Chains A and B, each alone.
Chain A
Amino acid sequence: MQITVTVNGQAYTRDVDGRLLLVHFLRDELGLTGTHWGCDTSNCGVCVVWLDGTPVKSCTVLAVMADGRQVRTVEGLETAAGLDPVQQGFVQCHGLQCGFCTPGMMMTARWLLDHNPDPSEAEIREAISGQICRCTGYENIVRAVRWAAEHPATEEVSA
């Protein structure tokens, strides 16, 4: 069936199978491979994107459910003004190692800061609790989100 999905501000119209997962639509149909595929069961969160402004696990959302809606992915974090503070925070605080969970973590972090600009450590931990990281032990992810909270204006960094 034909769907039109707006991803990072750009509308895409495609014919897709009704069963196609949003994560595969983004990756295979649109070539936006920053969103990853990790577990199929909504446990790991490497596939987190925004759907109409809310983080969802795109491995358990059908592409057709995004028809006529807005999706934001990691590729949409950086703007003409520069990197999102969350992206900068992950670099500054070594919030990533293999990088596989990073896009999903950053999408959740951006959503958290939009709704709670000054989150406590406990609030950050709760916000990312539905996502898994195997490399960082979460410590530096939490610090990265705090860094972004403390540096809300987009600044130039050498990333």
Chain B
Amino acid sequence: MTTVESAPVGFGRMHRKEDARFIRGRGTYVDDVKLPGMLHGAILHSPYAHAKIVSIDTSAAEAHPKVKAVITGQTLAGLNLAWMPTLSYDTQAVLATDKVRFQGQEVAFVVAEDRYAARDALELIEVEYEPLPAVVDARRALDPDAPVIRDDKEGKTDNHIFDWEAGDAARTDAVFAEAEVVVAQDILYPRVHPAPLETCGAVADFDKVTGKLTVWTTSQAPHAHRTVYALVAGLPEHKIRVISPDIGGGFGNKVGIYPGYVCAIVGSIVTGRPVKWMEDRSENLMTTSFARDYHMRGEIAATRDGKIRAVRVKVLADHGAFNGTAQPTNFPAGFFHVFTGSYDLEAAHCSVTGVYTNKAPGGVAYACSFRVTEAAYLIERMVDILAYELDMDPAELRMRNLLRPEQFPYHCPTGWEYDSGDYPRALRLAMDLVGYEQVRREQAAQRAAMAGGQPPSTLTGIGVSFFTEAVGAGPRKHMDILGLGMADGAELRVHPTGKAVLRISVQSQGQGHETTFAQIVAEELGIPPDDIEVVHGDTDQTPFGLGTYGSRSTPVSGAAAAMVARKVRERARIVAAAALEVDPADLEWEKGRWFVRGDRESGKSIQELAMAAHSTVELPEGVEGHLDATCVYNPPNLTFPFGAYICVVDVDPGTGQVKVRRFVAVDDCGVRINPMIVEGQIHGGLADGVGMALMEVMAFDADGNHLGASFMDYLLPTSMECPSWELGETVTPSPHHPIGAKGVGESATVGSPAAVVNAVLDALKPYGVRHADMPLTPAQVWRAIQGRPFRTDLAISDD
């Protein structure tokens, strides 16, 4: 591995500034916040997926000596807070009043002196339920006799949420009508959970004297949360301070506002004391934002020799009981319409129907880049299925259809403008790194032995995936969440001695912003990163912006950091001109200083200029002094990272056990600010892919009982399931981003599941297996070999 020798003044490998506290156990996560007089909250959850609430008796709980308050939906209704808006213009119950609509739904909130007493008191609350039939299978949600889940919405007589489409249906149908080869496949991307190791929680502290509410919370979007609290609770926005301290992983799980946050706030207002609410693991898995749950039917049209012509997709999207997805308003299916992937198509069309079911709300989470994950999985499975039908090598089929470098900027059939790319180069590099021909030869020998009647002890599979992401939401004229445009601010102050403070609107859940954002400013100004403090995650201290998710920190806020540094640089130029008594136009910049053109010796460093800007140096008319600047970055387009992944697996045909032998990942995320951090993010996403492909699923039984409600049942990959990752890189800068960066936080999570699944199904090809849904557990693999793979999202029934 490459080691870090010394900190660069700008881009390059550099140890993280934040590590010093974490390796000493001195991070400050929400559950580490302890305020004087702090009380503890706990939530009573519904045991039923769908039931009428007949009555709630809280008297015994209220009589508990350590209980300070019991809050129910009725209490909240009195404050007009029983329902809150979701990020998708729906409503969600904070605490249920009329019905519970998923197992685990929040019913009551107890505030007590300690966390154990609060949970004791939950046992004392008597709720009488009248169970109702539950809608568990999304594919039955629109049946005429399906129970109506959202009867709270006036006039609602079904479980339909939205229909949405992208692309040209007529043109796509026309290509399909005359295509030589058409292949169709039902593909499920099952419901999974981001499962950050730190669960969600909040400490709310309402000061009755000042009227100020401070909320320490697990939020990936503190500014957006503040605005929503202001709109929901009617509190003035300047009297709300949201602090996202150190966050123990987010992955999209911490974008939304959960009932527990609101309850903690109400609890603090009611009791006049700070209230902490921290969910446990089961609460996290059962109630907070899940991901995926896309039931897709893909069709691909091609020529007999493997030229892909068109793709058509129908999606049934299970959004749970409340439409709580977090995505730009105009895009109810997120950026799923980037499903045309990395290929040169004549036409494409998708239609998406969202439905309510009796499951937890959510849908956009788990490093999904606003549904790009589902899109990449769909197209990469379809291409492999086409390869299967045409009996072609899947890498060769991809190479034949990849966009060529000269086609960029590329206008895809569903409306995106891909900014830049050299796809064949990335795929060739991945094939070289894995030794593609060699592994295929090994597999061929194995299959020949099988054909000769020798029972196989191991089935080797090779899976290829090529993905294109659309990240960095987004251009304000097209993209907003609850009316808030997706631009981000930055403020840069340079102190007289040349040390600096950068205040950013995005917030880190482990991405290392305190390091990389300092490096961005260092690159632009020549101030060493160690001399730059990065402040984030506190709405009182940072400019407005929409937060960290959808791989948007570097594409949007990173651009803001570069632009604000350039403003400072221009201010420094004016100061330099005054100090050196020359015209600003006669100055040239080299990293860290302005000098007089043609006289390199005559110049001033940025540190000297910072002091001069604060000094008595006479500045030109209209120049205020100081170097400080602010800016807001409104991206002109999304950025389009891409990559080529190849996975090699060994499958035991006797047990169905899959071992990931190798995983090669070539990523192109444009310019890399800190390659060490980029590689770390890719490693993490690759592990996600192994988890989703082989282990993770949130399934439900017929009554809507959650079958993955703890880490004993919801299986996450450990060091034993993950291979040693092999990375490669190409660099194709984004032409429209100030530093050419594209974002990488979710690339590997987007690209890797298909590579693993394609590898396993490639291994099973001798058995005639064309497709089986994730997760490819030993049971699923074994049943696929028997020719009867099952639906993984429902309780296993032996058919």
A residues near B, CB below 8 A?
A: 17, 19-20, 24, 27-28, 31-41, 43-44, 46, 73-75, 77-78, 83, 87, 90-94, 96-103, 106, 121, 124-126, 128-143, 158-159
Contacts and interface: CB of A to CB of B under 8 A. Distances in A.
A141 B684 contact: no
Contact of A94 (B20, B248, B676, B686): B676
A97 B710 contact: no
B585 interface: no
A43 B712 contact: yes
Interface of B: 1, 3-4, 15-16, 18-29, 31-32, 34, 114-116, 194-199, 246-249, 251, 278, 280-282, 509-512, 676-677, 679-688, 710-712, 716, 718-720, 722, 724-725
Task: Point out which of A32, A46, A133, A134 has the most chain B C-beta atoms below 10 A from its C-beta.
Answer: A134
B248 A100 contact: yes
Contact of B719 (A75, A92, A134, A142): A142
A97 B684 contact: yes
A132 B197 contact: yes
Contact of B29 (A87, A100, A135): A100
Contacts, number: 187
A134 B716 contact: yes
B197 A98 contact: yes
Contacts of A138: 683, 687, 718-719, 722
A37 B31 contact: yes
9 nearest A-B residue pairs (beta carbon) = A34-B25, A98-B510, A100-B248, A99-B22, A137-B683, A43-B711, A137-B687, A97-B510, A74-B25
18 contacts: A28-B115, A37-B278, A38-B197, A40-B282, A44-B197, A87-B23, A94-B15, A96-B510, A128-B719, A134-B684, A134-B688, A134-B716, A135-B684, A137-B683, A137-B684, A138-B718, A139-B683, A139-B725
Task: Point out which of B18, B24, B31, B677 has the most chain A C-beta atoms below 10 A from its C-beta.
Answer: B24
A27 B278 CA distance: 14
B743 to A, nearest CB: 16
Contacts of B34: 28, 31
Contact of B512 (A38, A78, A97): A97
A142 B194 CA distance: 23
Given A37-B31, A100-B197, A91 B23 contact: yes
Contacts of B115: 24, 28
B1 A143 contact: yes
A16 B23 CA distance: 29
A35 B26 CA distance: 10
Nearest to B280: A40
A49 to B, nearest CB: 10
B116 A17 contact: yes
Given A44-B197, A92-B4, A97-B510, A74 B24 contact: yes
A143 B680 CA distance: 12
Contacts of A19: 116
Nearest to A128: B719
A135 B249 contact: yes
A33 B19 contact: no
A65 B78 CA distance: 46
Given A37-B31, A39-B281, A138-B722, A96 B198 contact: no
A92 B711 contact: no
B719 A141 contact: yes
